[in-house]
């Protein structure tokens, strides 16, 4: 079976490519390297079943090979990256998604969309079930991503209804682990890097907003299970353990034996106050649930960032 992973050089995509290769599949990674990195996939390039294509999904995809499965992950995920050029972010989720869906149609391939908990916006229902329709500000700085991902889900369902295309939609909650970009501005990479450098830990707002963090190997297993299941979705994939950013900072300071102090900064606009997946559907339909506790995942991630610092790698 041949599998295309768009965004395969990114954080989640590179772990997914590695997982699929380990299972013996042929894998093609298609990426424009906006946030993706050669370093994430350098080990995979030694595998003859792996290939990289430099391409932007906002341009039509014309690969003369047949694919059975397509995972669409091509979209920057950190607030800094997706707000860097908000129009490009919307394009990836609209024009780009249409190009991916058209290519899937041409191949008769099953296609999975990496959607996000951001489609719930600043949620008024807690924890969030797949039936919740969300509370998103269409005009705010996060809208290019949140609304883009909402349109992408709509396009997936329209291609499913109109062309009977076998689609899968997963809503991913905050995911972390090795290969995260240390400068991507996300909370776990920021806090760990600050703690390792004994710099002030930047808590936005009062630090009482919550997030639920899923370790990347758990997520990748969930993506694969969903792809190979008979469910269209949407299905939430995330770890229901819920922590405030204050608790997270304390955990990371303790884990790294850091001398960092806490520094409170302004809360970014439209920052969701709480986030926790209801994963009943994933448990029931996919027999999936995360295995890695936050403490264990943070240790593995901190070890990766320590290695980055030691080897002076960016």
Under the criterion CB under 6 A, does residue 83 sit at the interface with ligand UDP? no
Instruction: Fill in the per-residue mask, 46 to 65: x = in contact with ligand NAD (CB under 6 A), - = not in contact.
Output: ----------xxx-------
Backbone angles phi, psi at 306, to 5 degrees: -65, -45
CB 286 within 8 A of CB 231: yes
Under the criterion CB under 6 A, does residue 301 sit at the interface with ligand NAD? no
Instruction: Fill in the per-residue mask, 138 to 177: x = in contact with ligand NAD (CB under 6 A), - = not in contact.
Output: ----------------------------------x-xx--
The CA distance from 15 to 205, in Å, is 32
Q: Which stretch binds ligand NAD (CB under 6 A): 1-9, 122-130, 250-258, 283-291?
A: 1-9
CB-count exposure of residue 38 (10 Å: 0-12, 13-18, 19+): exposed
Greatest Cα pair distance in the chain = 58
Q: Which stretch binds ligand UDP (CB under 6 A): 66-74, 106-114, 183-191, 303-311?
A: 183-191
Give the strand pairing for 235-237 and 167-172: parallel
Under the criterion CB under 6 A, does residue 127 sit at the interface with ligand UDP? no
Q: How far is the CB of 124 from ligand NAD (least distance, A)?
A: 20
How far does the chain reach from its first CA to its final CA, in angstroms?
34
189 Cβ contact list (under 8 Å, min separation 6): 176, 180, 181, 182, 183, 305
Under the criterion CB under 6 A, does residue 196 sit at the interface with ligand NAD? no
Active-site residue, 159 included = no
**Binding region for ligand NAD (CB under 6 A):** 6-7, 9-13, 31-36, 56-58, 73-77, 81, 92, 96, 114, 116, 172, 174-175
Instruction: List the catalytic residues.
Output: 145
């Amino acid at each position: 079976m041949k599998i295309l992973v768009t965004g395969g050089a990114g954080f989640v995509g590179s772990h997914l490519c590695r997982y699929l290769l380990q299972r013996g599949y042929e894998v093609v990674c298609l990426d424009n390297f906006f946030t993706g990195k050669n370093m994430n996939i350098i080990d995979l390039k030694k595998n003859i079943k792996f290939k990289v294509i430099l391409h932007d999904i906002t341009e039509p995809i014309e690969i003369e090979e047949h694919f059975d499965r397509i995972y669409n992950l091509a979209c920057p995920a950190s607030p800094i990256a997706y707000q860097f050029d908000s129009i490009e972010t919307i394009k990836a989720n609209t024009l780009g998604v249409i190009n991916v869906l058209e290519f899937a149609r041409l191949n008769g391939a099953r296609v999975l969309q990496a959607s996000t908990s951001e489609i719930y916006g600043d949620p008024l229902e807690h924890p969030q079930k797949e039936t919740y329709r969300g509370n998103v500000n269409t005009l705010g700085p996060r809208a290019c991503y949140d609304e883009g991902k909402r349109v992408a889900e709509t396009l997936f369902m329209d291609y499913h209804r109109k062309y009977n295309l076998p689609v899968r939609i997963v809503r991913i909650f905050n995911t972390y682990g090795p290969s995260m970009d240390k400068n991507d501005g996300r909370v776990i990479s920021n806090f760990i890097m600050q703690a390792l450098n004994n710099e002030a830990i930047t808590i936005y707002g009062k630090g009482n907003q919550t997030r639920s963090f899923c370790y990347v190997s758990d997520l990748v297993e969930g993506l694969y299970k969903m792809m190979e299941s008979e469910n269209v979705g949407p299905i939430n994939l995330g770890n229901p353990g819920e922590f405030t950013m204050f608790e997270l900072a304390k955990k990371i300071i303790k884990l790294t034996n850091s001398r960092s102090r806490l520094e409170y900064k302004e809360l970014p606009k439209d920052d969701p106050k709480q986030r926790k997946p209801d994963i009943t559907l994933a448990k029931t339909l996919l027999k999936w649930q995360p295995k890695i506790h936050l403490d264990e995942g943070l240790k593995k991630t901190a070890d990766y960032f320590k290695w980055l610092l030691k080897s002076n790698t960016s």
